[in-house]
Amino acid sequence: MSHTYPVYRDLAGQVALVTGASSGLGRAAAIALGQAGVRVVVNHPPSDDSRGRALAVVAEIEALGGEALAIAGDVSREDQVDGLMAEAVARLGTLHLIVANAGIERRSAVEDMTLDSWKAVIDVNLTGAFLTARGAVREFLRRGVPAAGTAALGKIVFTSSVHETIPWAFQSNYAASKGGIALLMRSLAQELAPRKIRVNSVAPGAIKTAINTDAWSTDEAREKLLTLIPYGRVGEPEDIAGAILWLLSDASDYVNGTSLVVDGGMLLYPSFRGDG
């Protein structure tokens, strides 16, 4: 059954690129945009498995009456990002809405963390966000006018994390990448606002996706996780997709350089819940 989102009429007819859209938060964002009448590029990592999952997302969007296509591309590779942007523009005319979402985790104690593991996370999560945003900005500037009836020339939303703020033991590479996104996002927002390009982030807490299955899929793990979430439930991908839709719509036209935390209160120092 499809999720019901608020309707932002200005979104219909625009073109979106969602990176890492074959699973998790990207998948939910792509489907939400498709339901909103946005034409969606479902980017996925270049593997057969991911292609299969991306095509399933395309089929799901089409079944809801929307339009989508799948394009492969490793966001950490400059040639592949530029190639996927060029293909998207060739096939759909332009891009208006960007969800720079692709992200990975590689857990390890720092003394065991290989340079490969450090680099893999920084390359996908941070360099990938930069390459995606850079390609998007080039296309927004090339197009030069907003989509008919809309306010901004283009909009970029990064998928950040509560770990842009909360330090994360054994995930120092991941936390560093999200901390990097926080200032990448704010710097780009400052730089691009005069050109009518809006840049913001969504900062999810614990959401049920494949990236953190271990943290929520057993009763024991879920109970432990819930001690960190004052609102008392683990988030759903649709909680994040709804926030992304709003950030991409004209309903948030005056929102620039903000990281919208969607975490059920994880950032509220939950260990102080009692009497402190």
Nearer Cβ to ligand BGC (55/211) = 211
Q: Of 31, 136, 157, 162, which one interacts with ligand BGC (CB under 6 A)?
A: 162
Distance of CA 225 to the CA centre of its chain: 22
Is-contact 80 88, C-beta < 8 A? no
Least separation in angstroms between residue 181's CB and ligand BGC is 11
Task: List the beta strands (DSSP E) in the chain.
Answer: 15-18, 39-44, 67-72, 97-100, 154-159, 197-204, 259-262
**Can residue 126 be called a binding residue for ligand BGC (CB under 6 A)?**
no
Of residues 5, 174, 231, 254, which has the active-site annotation? 174
Asked if 205 touches ligand BGC (CB under 6 A), the answer is: yes
Sign of the alpha-carbon dihedral angle for 269, 252, 61, 127: negative
By CB under 6 A, residue 206 contacts ligand BGC: yes
The token duo for 227 is 């001690």
Return d(Cα 232, Cα 156) in angstroms, integer: 31
Residue placing its CB nearer to ligand BGC in the complex, 95 or 181: 181
Catalytic residue check, 174? yes
The b-or-e profile of 174-209 (16+ CB within 10 A means b, else e) is bbbbbbbbbebbbebbeebeeeebbbbbbbbbbbbb
Tokens read off for 238: 């649709």
Query: Which residues inside 76-115 make contact with ligand BGC, applying CB under 6 A?
Result: 105
Distance CA 72, CA 43 (A): 6
Shortest distance (Å) from residue 91 CB to ligand BGC:
31
Q: How far is the CB of 208 from ligand BGC (least distance, A)?
A: 9
For 94, the token pair is 């332009």
Compute how many residues bind ligand BGC; rule: CB under 6 A: 10
Residue 239 identity (one-letter amino acid): D
What DSSP designation does 131 have?
H
Q: How far is the CB of 152 from ligand BGC (least distance, A)?
A: 27
Which of 181/189 has CB closer to ligand BGC?
181
Stretch that binds ligand BGC, among 4-12, 53-61, 201-209, 268-276 (CB under 6 A): 201-209
Q: Which of 108, 117, 165, 212 binds ligand BGC (CB under 6 A)?
A: 212
Give the nearest distance from C-beta 195 to ligand BGC in angstroms: 30
- Longest Cα–Cα distance in the chain: 59
Q: Under the criterion CB under 6 A, does residue 163 sit at the interface with ligand BGC?
A: yes
215 lies in the site for ligand BGC, by CB under 6 A: yes
Task: Name the one range near ligand BGC by CB under 6 A: 72-80, 84-92, 207-215, 248-256.
Answer: 207-215
Instruction: Work out whether 180 is an interface residue with ligand BGC (CB under 6 A).
Output: no
CA distance 1 to 58: 16
User: Quick one: which segment of 42-50, 86-94, 206-214, 236-244 binds ligand BGC (CB under 6 A)?
Assistant: 206-214
- Chain length of the chain: 276
Binding site for ligand BGC (CB under 6 A): 105, 161-163, 204-206, 211-212, 215
Active-site residue numbers?
A: 174
